[in-house]
């Protein structure tokens, strides 16, 4: 886990906002942007879609997608970072949450190498994601370290809640795919944002609009509990 502008752990936070990244905080799927540079985007998209519907084990699907990137030059990551598009309302939601005393975290099945800079610019307190294995400037086709799957997302939420002294009723979690189910169930308010059926069925709130700022009212509600 990396920390950006993390508040003092002894400070009392208003609440904890934990968001997925791909197709939630961002409009894109990071690994698909990388895969485009390798000429395998269509194949990666097929696997991603099946995984987000809950049809494939997430860890196995991620390894299969990353394996298709073997030999790609590390330099493409700068181009991918430059192409990131935050979801409408995402940065404003973070600004409002931070101003109101919330701790904000991104917990992603995506990759630190792509999202960390944007997270730092946005003032995100914590980021947890996967890491590409890169040797001699090229992708090996493997993931370095443990994979951030649905269980890891939930555990991260629980660890941050304990660290910042936030009770479950003042935790809001947002996501779009099956690998977000566990963390939405662990939160006081689970928000499915333009989500797959596998997540909608466990969410407390469903947002189908274009803007993530629609979640703000649910943060305000959680803060009053």
pLDDT in tens, 71-104: 999 999 999 999 999 999 999 999 999 999 999 9
Asked whether the predicted pLDDT for residue 165 surpasses 60, the reply is yes
Active site residue 136: no
Average pLDDT value for residue range 37-56: 92
User: What is the number of alpha carbons within 13 Å of residue 25 lying toward its C-beta?
Assistant: 26
CA distance 22 to 26: 5
Q: Which candidate in 20, 125, 149, 180 is catalytic?
A: 20
**How are beta strands 132-135 and 138-143 bridged, if at all?**
antiparallel
Domain ranges of the chain: 2-39+82-223
2 confidence band (pLDDT: 50, 70, 90)? very low
**Mean pLDDT calculated for residue range 123-136:** 98
Q: What percent of the chain has pLDDT over 90?
A: 90
Catalytic residue among 22, 125, 149, 180: 22
Has 57 been annotated as catalytic? no
| Structure token pair of residue 50 | 């099946």
pLDDT above 90 for 149: yes
* Homologous superfamily, domain 2-39+82-223: HAD superfamily/HAD-like (3.40.50.1000)
Task: Output the CA–CA distances (angstroms, integers) from residue 145 to 117, 130, 172, in the order listed.
Answer: 20, 7, 27
Provide the phi-psi class of 160: left if phi over 0, else alpha when psi is between -120 and 50, else beta.
Answer: alpha
pLDDT digits (tens, 9 = 90+) for 170-210: 999 999 999 999 999 999 999 999 999 999 999 999 999 99
Distance CA 127, CA 4 (A): 8
Average pLDDT, the chain: 94
* Residue environment code for 20-46, b if the CB has 16+ CB neighbours within 10 A, otherwise e: bbbbbbbebbbbbbbbbbbebbeebbe
Cβ atoms of residues 184 and 175 within 8 Å: yes
Tell which residue, 64, 59, 74, has the closest CA to residue 40: 64
Instruction: Report whether pLDDT(70) > 80.
Output: yes
Q: What pLDDT score does 12 carry?
A: 79
Confidence grade of residue 3 (pLDDT, cut at 50, 70, 90): very low
pTM of the entire predicted model: 0.92
Is residue 10 over pLDDT 60? no
């Amino acid at each position: 886990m990396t920390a950006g502008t993390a508040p003092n752990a002894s400070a009392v936070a208003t609440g904890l906002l934990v968001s997925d990244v791909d197709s939630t905080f961002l409009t894109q799927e990071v690994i698909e942007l990388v895969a485009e540079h390798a000429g395998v985007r269509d194949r990666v998209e097929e696997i991603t879609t099946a995984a987000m519907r809950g049809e494939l084990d997430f860890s196995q699907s991620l390894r299969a997608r990353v394996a298709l990137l073997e030999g790609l030059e590390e330099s493409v990551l700068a181009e991918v970072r430059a192409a990131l598009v935050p979801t409408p309302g995402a940065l404003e939601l973070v600004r409002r949450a931070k101003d109101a005393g919330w701790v904000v975290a991104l917990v992603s099945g995506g990759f630190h190498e792509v999202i960390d800079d944007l997270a730092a610019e946005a003032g995100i307190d914590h980021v947890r994601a996967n890491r590409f294995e890169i040797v001699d400037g090229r992708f090996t086709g493997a993931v370095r370290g443990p994979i951030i799957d649905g269980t890891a997302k939930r555990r991260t939420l629980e660890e941050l809640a304990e660290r910042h002294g936030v009770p479950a009723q003042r935790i809001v979690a947002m996501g779009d795919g099956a690998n977000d189910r566990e963390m939405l169930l662990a939160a006081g308010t689970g928000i499915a944002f333009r989500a797959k059926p596998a997540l909608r069925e466990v969410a407390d709130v469903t947002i189908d609009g274009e803007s993530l700022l629609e979640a703000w009212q649910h943060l305000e509600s959680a803060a009053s509990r």
